[in-house]
Amino acid sequence: MIKRWVSLEDQIIKIVLRTLPTDSIALSSKTALSLSPRAPLDCFTSAAEIELFRDDTERMVRAVWPNGKPKPGETLIELGCGPGFYSCAFAERFREINVLGIDRSPSQLKWAREKAEALELANCCFQNDNVLDLSHADNRFDVLIASRLFTVLPDRARAVAEMHRVLRPGGCCFIAEPRYAFWASIPLFAMWLLARITHFNIGYREPSKARVLSAREMNRLFATQPWRKMKTWQDGRYQYALCEKR
Ligand SMILES: C[S@@+](CC[C@H](N)C(=O)[O-])C[C@H]1O[C@@H](n2cnc3c(N)ncnc32)[C@H](O)[C@@H]1O
């Protein structure tokens, strides 16, 4: 048991260290040494690498494009994109679609843009916007994805209404949410800790603890909109919603 906790603590420290912007904070030389090789750095990619964060790219692709491929020119929006993990993955895999990642955190957007630039993604951009009051017109996007967004949102039903509004009729959305507050809180806690132990303002505004939805709450939340089809389900530590607009 003690061993498990030590290794968990180790993992949290790893996430925090990998998240630190290399050029912005005064650190001990030992710490700085372990930071230098990676830029841009993000806690979610690190979390995925050490299996705290499930990579659902394949699952999303299969759910929104059952034949495995989008039509050229399709538009995909990711809400609460963070450092751009999924936006970049979709844009890299499908160069024929246009991807827009939305987040309200300038530092997350900066890292997302750096990642897209490093991958030379001409079909991927990022915008500062509020998922509770999106600046986009009705019926604008073919596909919408959101991962681990609802754990930090104050007004979840409002976000689902905005999702429904910006999707075109026939368009679909895929939502991935953690089921257990403990696991969902680790990357959040890492970011929270980082914001406190550094004197650098990383623009982090999320709580240190995640508020997860029960299966029933997840179902009720998505049922607040008049979808043509709607399905919610659980799989291990995650739960999902797949909805198609009428
Ligand atoms: C837990 S992170 C998940 C990031 C990413 N989706 C992933 O799975 O790696 C939640 C993200 O939602 C963003 N966020 C929270 N509230 C938001 C809002 N009202 N509008 C836009 N983004 C928001 C945060 O800035 C943060 O980047």
**Tens digits of residue pLDDT in 55-97:** 999 999 999 999 999 999 999 999 999 999 999 999 999 999 9
For the stretch 117-131, pLDDT in tens is 999 999 999 999 999
For the stretch 165-175, pLDDT in tens is 999 999 999 99
The pLDDT assigned to 217 comes to: 97
Give, for ligand 1, the residue of 46, 56, 104, 110 to mutate: max count of ligand atoms closer than 8 Å to Cβ: 104
Helix ranges (DSSP H) in the chain: 2-19, 29-35, 43-49, 57-64, 85-93, 106-118, 156-166, 181-197, 215-222
For the stretch 232-243, pLDDT in tens is 999 999 999 999
Contacts of 43 (CB under 8 A, 6+ apart): 15, 16, 18, 19, 83, 187, 190, 191, 194
Mean local confidence (pLDDT), 45-59? 70
Q: What are phi and psi of 145, to 5 degrees?
A: -130, 150
**Mean per-residue pLDDT over the chain, rounded:** 82
- What is the Å distance from ligand 1's center to 171 Cα? 22
Residue 25 has pLDDT above 60, yes or no: no
- What is the Å distance from ligand 1's center to 29 Cα? 32
Residue 2 has pLDDT above 90, yes or no: no
The residues pairing with 233 across neighbouring beta strands, listed in sequence order, are 240
Residue 30 has pLDDT above 80, yes or no: no
44 lines ligand 1 (CB under 6 A): yes
**In angstroms, rounded to a whole number, what is the distance separating the alpha carbons of residues 130 and 73?**
25
For the stretch 186-215, pLDDT in tens is 777 777 777 666 655 555 566 667 789 999
Residue 12 binned pLDDT confidence (cut-offs 50, 70, 90): low
* Contact in structure between 193 and 179 (CB atoms under 8 Å): no
> Domains along the chain?
57-179+211-245 (3.40.50.150)
104 lines ligand 1 (CB under 6 A): yes
88 lines ligand 1 (CB under 6 A): no
The pLDDT assigned to 55 comes to: 95
Q: What are phi and psi of 126, to 5 degrees?
A: -130, 150
Residue 9 binned pLDDT confidence (cut-offs 50, 70, 90): very low
- Lowest model confidence (mean pLDDT) among 8-22, 109-123, 150-164, 169-183: 8-22
Residue 155 binned pLDDT confidence (cut-offs 50, 70, 90): very high
The pLDDT assigned to 136 comes to: 98
Percent composition of the chain: helix, strand, coil (DSSP 3-state, to 5):
40, 20, 40
More confident residue, 96 or 2: 96
Atom 26, ligand 1: residue with shortest CA distance: 82
